[in-house]
Amino acid sequence: MTPRRTFRTLALAEAVTWTLLLAGMVLKYVLDVTELGVRIGGGLHGFVFLAYCVTTVLVGVDARWSLGRVALGLAAAFVPYATVPFERHVDGTLAPRWRLRTQPWHGRVERVAAAALRAPVVAGVVVLVGLVLVFGGLLAVGPPTQWVG
């Protein structure tokens, strides 16, 4: 997948899972019907949120975004639906091909990104395992509503 398609897909998926989570919260907290929507929507949203963050960093490094632009992309994931306008804002900066697949890298961060892009299956497995471990750890800690107080 191209950087543009990859980022667009994750930005949209992040927005869709926000919808699932918010709908689940309405069912649980407003209508007092069930908490199943929060469990499913929250779980999906949490996983896609983490995947979006990894993708934002990878795309940002490949596109040579500033640290501020990468931070803004990451911050967009915390605001419902903000990933879509951010994706539209940066769309022009995304190349049709991954730069680091063929061009030389500069610095440690680009070296890691280049290695991931040049061995995508291995990188995908490593990222997926990492996301599962982080996600599992977060599930063990409990939902964010239990962290306060």
Q: How many domains in the chain?
A: 1
Within-domain flag for 149 = no
User: Residue-wise pLDDT tens for the chain (149 aa)?
Assistant: 899 999 999 999 999 999 999 999 999 999 989 888 888 898 899 889 989 999 999 999 999 999 999 999 999 999 999 999 999 999 999 989 999 999 999 999 999 999 999 999 999 899 889 888 887 887 788 766 666 65
Within-domain flag for 93 = yes
Within-domain flag for 148 = no
Within-domain flag for 56 = yes
Can you tell me the distance from the alpha carbon of 4 to that of 98, in angstroms, rounded to the nearest whole number?
9
What pLDDT does 119 receive? 93
pTM of the predicted model as reported, rounded to 2 decimal places? 0.86
What pLDDT does 132 receive? 86
Q: Domain range for residue 44?
A: 3-143
Largest CA distance in the chain: 56
Within-domain flag for 89 = yes
